Each structure stands twice: as structure tokens, then as C-alpha cells.
Amino acid sequence: MSDLVPFPPPPSENHEALYLVGFRLDPAAEAPQMYSVFALYGENDRPATEGGRVLVFADPALAGAAVERGDNGVKDVGDVPTEMALICDVAGALHIINSQDVDEDGAVLEAINCFDDLIRAVQINVPAQYMSVLSALAERLNEQDEFGTWLAEQGVDRETVEDAIMWCVGAVAVKSTVVNS
């Protein structure tokens, strides 16, 4: 997808702000299926949560409702975002991991970074095998977008990376609340 932007998006100013993030999970879909609001560039990057659960919604017009329900300080950050700041392209990241050697658009790194914030917000412990693979891969992708040779050198199979990301998606899904109105 050509409309990917870095996660987190570069700050327009050097202070915490709210950003609308879309999640594309279905590889057959062009647009995101789910959204959340993130507070970024403060001391604690985080999604909007209520009772320790990530607030997600299918309609970006519900961003205000999610911010209002948030009990982790997001409603005090600033204006509710009206435009999507980025797409966390989970489907695209999984495709790249399975079939390519280069994360040219940064989809894999964005997905890892985004789910790192989500997992921290819901306070779930990632299995050690997955944590080590995702942390090491993120470190590699922060240095360069080629990762195929690195996987081979480290003895990490692509299925393990895919499983780690899918574990994160599932863990966040069961620790989410859907905002309907």
C-alpha cells in the first residue's frame, strides 16, 4: 500500500498528541477494518484503554467516543483526531514476512512497534521466544530494511516471526473492547 507512514508518525510539534490508527487485518481489503486512538510523543505512548482493555472501533467517526471512554489519560492529551494518521498493515506485514526479504515500506517494523505499544498497554507477557524474535527483528529493521539474510544467519524461520505477530494480534483482540457508539 502506498499510503503507509512511519509508526509512530513524525510529530508536527514536540508534544504528546492523539493519532487515529487503522488496522488492516484482511489481505483482501484495501482499507482498515478496525481503528484505535493512540497518544504519542509523551512519556508513555499508548492506545486509548478502558479498564485495562484497548478501545477499538470499526468506524473512524467513533474516535471521539473512544477518547471520552478512555481511562488512561488520553482524553486530557488534546483534540480528537479526525483523519487517520497511519495504517498498521498486519496483513501486509505477514505477506512480507512470508514472501520477501526486504521491508521496503516499513510495514513489518510498524506492525511490531504498534503491537509493542498495545501489548504494554494491556500488560500481557509475550512468550519469551516471540519477544526475543520480535525485538531482534525490530532492531534489525531499525538499521536496514533487508531482513531475509538476517533471518537465515540467526536461524529464525519465517513461520516463527509470523506466529509471533499473530500471537500479538490475538492477545490484543481478547484484551479489547469494541466501541459501538
Summarize pLDDT for 3-40 with one digit per residue, the tens: 555 566 555 555 899 999 999 999 999 999 999 999 99
At 30 the pLDDT is 94
Mean pLDDT of the chain: 93
At 62 the pLDDT is 98
Mean pLDDT of 46-73: 97
In-domain check, residue 163:
yes
Domain of 135, in residue numbers: 17-178
In-domain check, residue 4:
no
In-domain check, residue 92:
yes
The DSSP bridge partners found for residue 34 are 23
At 44 the pLDDT is 86
In-domain check, residue 39:
yes
In-domain check, residue 6:
no
Residues in the chain: 181
| pLDDT tens column, 104-144 | 999 999 999 999 999 999 999 999 999 999 999 999 999 99
In-domain check, residue 8:
no
At 3 the pLDDT is 53
Please, what sign has the CA dihedral across residues 89, 103, 122, 46?
negative
In-domain check, residue 88:
yes
In-domain check, residue 111:
yes
Determine how β-strand 17-24 pairs with β-strand 34-40.
antiparallel
Mean pLDDT of 87-99: 97
At 96 the pLDDT is 98
Q: Give per-residue burial for 81-101: e unless 16+ CB within 10 Å, then b.
A: beebbbbbbbbbbbebbeeee
Report the domain count for the chain: 1
| pLDDT tens column, 138-180 | 999 999 999 999 999 999 999 999 999 999 999 999 999 999 9
